[in-house]
């Protein structure tokens, strides 16, 4: 059983990361509230991350499911959350889109309405959660939410250049030029995703201009 991983972040999607530890790449699923605390892409050298793992394998699901958390208390919350009848690991994973302390607080307040609006929960499951976990969530309701540091323009530029070169096959000089042109066109860009979208617009505009001139 795997309870903890520390290693190099080598790949990232919206829902998973691949962490290389001891020469092995482990695919780890992340709840939305955990994923948002990671950088949009791995750093050039491979960012080293630490994850507390909730490990699941059953006869019906022989492929191991690893669910990762940045703090041990979050992993402990998840383990307790899935003890509710009908709330398996996958369903719980998709449901945790709000900060864990808010979900725990809702359980302690018996706020069924809050819980039933979590993805995949519904009214009946929300009632089961309250019935099973009320009085057991105070510890998790005291969790402090981690403060996110907005990326600086320099961070956004470098992340975009890395994506363009390492993932999309552009040369470094070409990628840097594309980034600078996009930022000059729209200096209000705040995220890497917005920057890549602007790069695409600039590229399409240049192609259309070239076709018109020919």
pLDDT in tens, 52-75: 999 998 777 778 999 999 999 999
* pLDDT (tens place) for every residue of the chain, 214 residues total: 899 999 888 888 888 999 998 889 999 999 998 888 776 554 544 678 899 999 998 777 778 999 999 999 999 999 999 999 989 999 999 999 999 999 999 999 999 999 999 999 999 999 999 999 999 999 899 887 654 445 566 678 888 898 889 888 899 999 999 998 888 888 888 788 888 888 988 888 777 766 666 5
Q: Could you tell me which of 115, 119, 129 has the C-alpha nearest to residue 86?
A: 129
What letter does residue 10 receive in the DSSP assignment?
A: E
Q: Which CATH superfamily is domain 4-141 in?
A: Nucleic acid-binding proteins (2.40.50.140)
What DSSP assignment string belongs to 112-144? Answer: HHHHHTSTTTHHHHHHHHHHHHTTS-HHHHTPP
Angle formed at CA 74 by CA 71 and CA 79, multiple of 5 degrees = 130
CA dist 27 and 35 (Å) reads 14
Please give the structure tokens belonging to residue 29. 């699923």
Q: Could you tell me which of 15, 59, 57, 53 has the C-alpha nearest to residue 35?
A: 15
User: Are the CB atoms for 40 and 192 separated by under 8 Å?
Assistant: yes
Domain range summary for the chain, segments of one domain joined by +: 4-141, 153-213
Please give the structure tokens belonging to residue 39. 């950088």
What pLDDT sits at residue 156? Answer: 84
Distances (CA, A) of 67 to 16, 26, 71, 108, 192: 9, 11, 12, 24, 26
Bridge partners of 24, per DSSP, are 21
Helix (H, G, I), strand (E, B) or coil at 14: coil
Please give the structure tokens belonging to residue 122. 């519904």
pTM here is: 0.66
């Amino acid at each position: 059983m795997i309870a903890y991983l520390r290693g190099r972040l080598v790949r990232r999607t919206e829902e998973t990361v691949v962490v290389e530890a001891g020469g092995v790449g482990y695919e780890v699923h992340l709840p939305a509230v955990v994923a948002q605390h990671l950088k949009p892409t791995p750093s050039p050298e491979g960012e080293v991350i630490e994850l507390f793992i909730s490990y699941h394998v059953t006869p019906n699901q022989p492929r191991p499911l690893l669910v990762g958390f940045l703090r041990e208390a979050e992993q402990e919350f998840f383990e307790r959350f899935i003890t509710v009848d009908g709330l398996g690991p996958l369903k719980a994973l998709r449901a945790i889109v709000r900060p864990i302390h808010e979900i725990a607080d809702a359980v302690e307040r018996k706020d069924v309405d809050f819980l039933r609006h979590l993805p995949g929960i519904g009214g009946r499951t929300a009632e089961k959660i309250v019935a099973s976990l009320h009085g057991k969530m105070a510890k998790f309701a005291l969790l402090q939410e981690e403060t996110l540091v907005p990326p600086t323009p320099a961070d956004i530029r470098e992340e975009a250049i890395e994506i363009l070169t390492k993932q999309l096959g552009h040369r470094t000089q070409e990628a840097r030029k594309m980034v600078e042109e996009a930022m000059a066109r729209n200096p209000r860009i705040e995220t890497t995703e917005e920057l890549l979208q602007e790069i695409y617009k600039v590229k399409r505009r240049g192609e259309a201009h070239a076709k018109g001139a020919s």
